[in-house]
């Protein structure tokens, strides 16, 4: 199922992004403000639901601003076009990674950095309440601490790519108003007998992969490692900000947790239950809150 793959791939991608950030926390802050004009044409949109929106062709400005001890902020505003509105309310949907991101790419289409969307709730309203072909500008930004990486981005950035556009549990809810909706409804109708049989026999061997009590679902252990990983990350970032050199010593523990988490991702089976998704999002929110306070 796409949702399971999205959890694995996107969570691991987020891990890599945080690793890059941590590796750079000791860099100096003597960078300069700057701007880069990006000529964006046929920008890619990646994710299980990449047909919801597109990025409008045009010239966009990537802005770099020095934030003193906080590092350097990169931000950009891009215009997004709504192609297939989501048939749910903004409160009823969530993204697998907790957020949509914009990658800055170089001339070889290689990702240089990932900028999180700053208006997540507004984006949800846009794709659920907007009409087909509506357009709206959204801001993506990220504060980094590596002056060398910052300088490289400001020198080599060429275009953008929208990523992590994956709605949770998309295949099991009628969210998208597209030409395939009729066939999807037919699939739901054909599966009604199976649903009824499950109601009559809760101990069937063909239980849904979303069964909250499934003993085969090992994602709780994955979430344990996931939370430990980010608790360590937050602790290291706080120590680095305060000039505590013990962060360098503890970096080895961080790498170990990264390796453990990578293995858990590879071994993960099944799909997130409702409670597991809630926990996943809670961990994401804790990280975002901590990063804002740094």
* Pair (134, 223) in one structural domain: no
Question: Which tokens belong to 255?
Answer: 């790498």
Residue 227: which H helix or E strand, with range? helix 219-241
**What pTM was estimated for this model as a whole?**
0.53
Cα Rg for the chain, rounded, in angstroms? Answer: 21
> Residue 48 burial by CB count (10 A; 0-12/13-18/19+): exposed, middle or buried?
buried
Q: Is 7 among the domain residues?
A: no
Q: With contact defined as beta carbons under 8 Å apart, do 96 and 3 qualify? A: yes
Region of 98 please: left (phi>0), alpha (psi -120 to 50) or beta: left
Q: Is 263 among the domain residues?
A: yes
pLDDT tens by residue, 219-267: 787 888 888 887 887 887 777 777 776 766 676 667 777 777 777 776 7
Q: With contact defined as beta carbons under 8 Å apart, do 41 and 56 qualify? A: no
User: Which of residues 163, 183, 204 is at a domain's end?
Assistant: 163
Backbone CA torsion sign across 175, 181, 187, 188: positive
* Pair (144, 82) in one structural domain: yes
Token pair 């453990």: residue:
260
CA 287/CA 227 separation, integer angstroms? 9
Q: With contact defined as beta carbons under 8 Å apart, do 197 and 79 qualify? A: no
* Pair (154, 244) in one structural domain: no
Q: With contact defined as beta carbons under 8 Å apart, do 115 and 100 qualify? A: no
3-state secondary structure of 140: strand
CA 94/CA 183 separation, integer angstroms? 24
Q: pLDDT tens track of the chain, all 294 residues?
A: 444 445 555 554 555 555 555 544 444 345 688 999 999 999 999 999 999 999 999 999 999 998 877 788 999 999 999 999 999 999 889 898 888 999 999 999 999 999 999 888 999 999 999 999 999 999 999 988 888 899 999 999 999 999 999 998 655 344 444 444 444 444 444 444 444 444 444 444 444 443 444 444 577 878 888 888 878 878 877 777 777 767 666 766 677 777 777 777 767 777 778 888 888 888 888 877 777 776
CA 257/CA 204 separation, integer angstroms? 37
Q: Is 265 among the domain residues?
A: yes
Question: Which tokens belong to 112?
Answer: 């240089």
Q: Is 6 among the domain residues?
A: no
Residues near 135 by beta carbon (within 8 Å), at least 6 away in sequence: 56, 79, 80, 81, 82
How many structural domains is the chain composed of? 2
CA 34/CA 38 separation, integer angstroms? 13
Report how many helices (DSSP H) and strands (DSSP E) the chain contains, helices first. 8, 8
Nearest to 271 by CA among 195, 137, 170, 181: 170
Residues near 119 by beta carbon (within 8 Å), at least 6 away in sequence: 138, 139
* Pair (222, 141) in one structural domain: no
pLDDT tens by residue, 53-74: 999 999 999 999 988 777 889 9
For residue 138, list its beta bridge partners: 78
- Domain extent, residue 135, equals 34-163
Nearest to 72 by CA among 31, 100, 120: 31
Q: Is 191 among the domain residues?
A: no
For residue 17, list its beta bridge partners: none
């Amino acid at each position: 199922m796409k949702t399971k793959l999205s959890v694995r791939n996107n969570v691991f991608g987020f891990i890599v992004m945080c690793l890059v950030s941590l590796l750079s926390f000791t860099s100096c802050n003597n960078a300069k403000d700057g701007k880069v004009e990006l000529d964006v044409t046929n920008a890619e949109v990646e994710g299980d639901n990449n047909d919801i929106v597109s990025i409008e062709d045009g010239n966009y400005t990537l802005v770099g601003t020095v934030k003193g001890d906080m590092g350097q902020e990169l931000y950009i505003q891009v215009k997004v076009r709504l192609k297939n509105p989501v048939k749910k309310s903004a409160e009823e949907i969530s993204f697998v990674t907790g957020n949509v991101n914009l990658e800055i790419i170089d001339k070889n289409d290689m990702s240089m950095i990932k900028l999180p969307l700053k208006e997540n709730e507004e984006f949800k309203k846009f794709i659920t309440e907007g009409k087909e072909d509506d357009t709206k500008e959204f801001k993506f930004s990220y504060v980094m601490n590596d002056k060398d990486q910052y300088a490289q981005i400001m020198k080599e950035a060429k275009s953008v790519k929208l990523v992590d556009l994956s709605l949770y549990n998309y295949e099991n809810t009628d969210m998208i108003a597209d030409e395939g909706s009729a066939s999807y409804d037919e699939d739901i109708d054909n599966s009604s007998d199976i649903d009824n049989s499950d109601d009559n026999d809760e101990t069937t061997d063909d239980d849904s992969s979303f069964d909250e009590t499934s003993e085969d679902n090992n994602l709780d252990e994955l979430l344990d490692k996931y939370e430990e990983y980010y608790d360590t990350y937050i602790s290291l970032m706080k120590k680095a900000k305060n000039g505590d050199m013990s962060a360098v010593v503890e970096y080895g523990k961080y790498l170990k947790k990264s390796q453990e988490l990578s293995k858990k991702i590879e071994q993960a089976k099944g799909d997130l239950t409702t409670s597991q998704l809630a926990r996943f999002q809670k961990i994401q929110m804790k990280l975002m809150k901590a990063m804002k306070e740094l």
